[in-house]
Amino acid sequence: MPLLYLVYLQWSFLFSGKVFQTFDRWTEVVQGTSWYLETFRPVVLDNAPNCMQPELLVPSNVNFLDAIYRDFADEVFQNKSAGLLGAAVQIETESYDDLGEVDKDERWEQKYGPFHEWVEGAFPYVHKTLKVEKVNTWGLVYTWQGSDATLKPIVLGAHQDTVPVDRKTLSQWVNPPFSGHYDGTYIWGRGTCDDKEQLIGALIALELLAKHSFNPRRTVILASGFDEEIGGQHGARTIGNFLLERYGENGIAFILDEGAGYGDLLGRTVAVPAIGERGHVDVKVQVNYQGGHSSVPPRNTGIDILADMIHTLNLNPPKPLLSKKNPFYDTLQCLAAYSPDLPLSVRKDIIRSSTWAPALKRVTSWVLGLPSGPLSPLGGTLIRTTQASTVIQGGVKVNALPEQVYALINHRIVPGSSVAETQDRIISLLTPRAETYNLSLSAFGASIIPHEAKAGEVFIDDAFEPGLEPAPVTPKAAEWDLFGGTIRAEWAKRDVSFNHGEMEDIIVAPGVMNVNTDSKHFWKLTKNIFRYAHLDPKGMYNGLHTINEAITLENFLGHVRFLSLLVLNADEARTF
């Protein structure tokens, strides 16, 4: 009997799959040892071929370039630039979620009337030289018509609006949020880092080029929406349609919109223009359940059920997905090629990951441990769909059972996934919970659990507008080479023009944006969208969307120089 029992245990162990699970875990441990890796998976540490650098690109008109760089170095020009950004900050252009239609809500006029009046007076050469058109009243489209109609135009994008300032935080600001104060180092106020520095920087660059009688062959467009912080439906969406009607699908060479910049990434200065962007979908989960007096409650109230559903979603987060189609994978390849402080084991695994799944799995684990930020080019959020419960509502009185409760859940969708996959996950997780509480379930327009004889109802649907898929990825073609070459040129000229001393060359790496920008309304215009601001986070006092928003003048002027070079380089390009 004991022998038969042992045979039974062995048989059960084998066919339960545990032996295979144990073997898999053992294999994973062995494959992670340095002996195995160096013996069976050796790597060549030179990863530069997997992060090819665009050729440094300086405009060929040396005399013109010298003339504008003399202005860049002039203290009068620098102080005037600080004053222009500061003046733009002084005009409040906050976006609120409850703003109504442009022709009905008087707050639009109160904010953008003064702002447009100031812009027109502040940039006389721009308004003398470029055609200015208003789209949906407050959208700005500046067109500098080129002489060669066969060349596709370029678009510089920026938004006029900012997030609101919480008036309860005013005492925490070093300088008032709408002062625009320049203290000799920083320009202070709401919008200095998001996104008036992009708009005013572009206007300063165009003003300078016009002042020096630049005559473009390629048309240059500055497109500025006014409600990016609430989705861009009134501003960028209408501008996108306006430009689409004029230039047609793929009628634009490339678009520059706001995004991350450059900075130290593990011991090397790296610029990370985002060539992709996460998608998003806001989901509303609503529970309709029995009301009544709180003195005789059911076992679970509607609030309890909703809380359980949110908890279920949080206990089962979306799985990480480090796809080779995700531009962040290219970011990692560049780190493996050029960042000296990247741990050697991670460097080797990044190189191996292109052909070996266990290495990709270990890289995924390493990335998940990195901190994330809205504009950070690194972080675990760039390889997984995230969910955040941001609004909850339910109940009207302490002694009345809530009859209707709901939560709003924001999802940011990783490249390689989709809105449908995000929705399917929610349905699969919440259907069993609805069954547990004997509730009907309707999700995204489909009946999942019929309503007959149920104790209550669960409705799951888009909270606002339909979800947004992850953005199409910009190809690494001639437009990418020009963009990256311009970044490298601005950086290289700092040595010569501004006596920054010997500086290591900047590396350019493709990346992906954590957040959405107005560029989502421009997808049909071009395959080439770069989300980038030529700024160093170290030159921002406290980041963006928070108290003490401020930017150094030096940081801001670097962006102005980059925009000027970008227009000049694009004007000389003939490969697109």
Catalytic residues: 161, 228
- The answer to whether the CB of 187 falls within 8 A of the CB of 105 is no
264 is in an annotated binding site: no
Judged on CB neighbours under 10 Å (0-12, 13-18, 19+), 2 is: exposed
Residue with tokens 């294999």: 27
End-to-end CA distance of the chain: 82
Angle at 489 between CA 576 and CA 493, to 5 degrees: 150
- The answer to whether the CB of 223 falls within 8 A of the CB of 529 is no
E strands along 48-129, which residues? none
Q: Closest Cα partner for 524 from 196, 111, 248?
A: 248
Which sign, positive or negative, has the C-alpha torsion 459, 464, 466, 469? negative
In this structure, how many other beta carbons lie within 10 angstroms of the beta carbon of residue 345?
Answer: 13
105 is in an annotated binding site: no
492, containing H or E segment: helix 478-498
Length of the chain: 576
Please state at what angle helix 478-498 crosses helix 553-572, rounded to 10 degrees.
130
E strands along 191-278, which residues? 220-225, 254-260, 262-264, 269-271, 274-277
Buried b / exposed e across 483-510, counting CB within 10 Å, b at 16+? Answer: bbbbbbbbbebbeebeeeeeeeebbbbb
**SS3 of residue 127 by DSSP:** helix
330 is in an annotated binding site: no
Q: What amino acid occupies position 132?
A: V
166 is in an annotated binding site: no
443, containing H or E segment: strand 439-443
341 is in an annotated binding site: no
- State the binding site for Zn(2+): 159, 194, 229, 257, 545
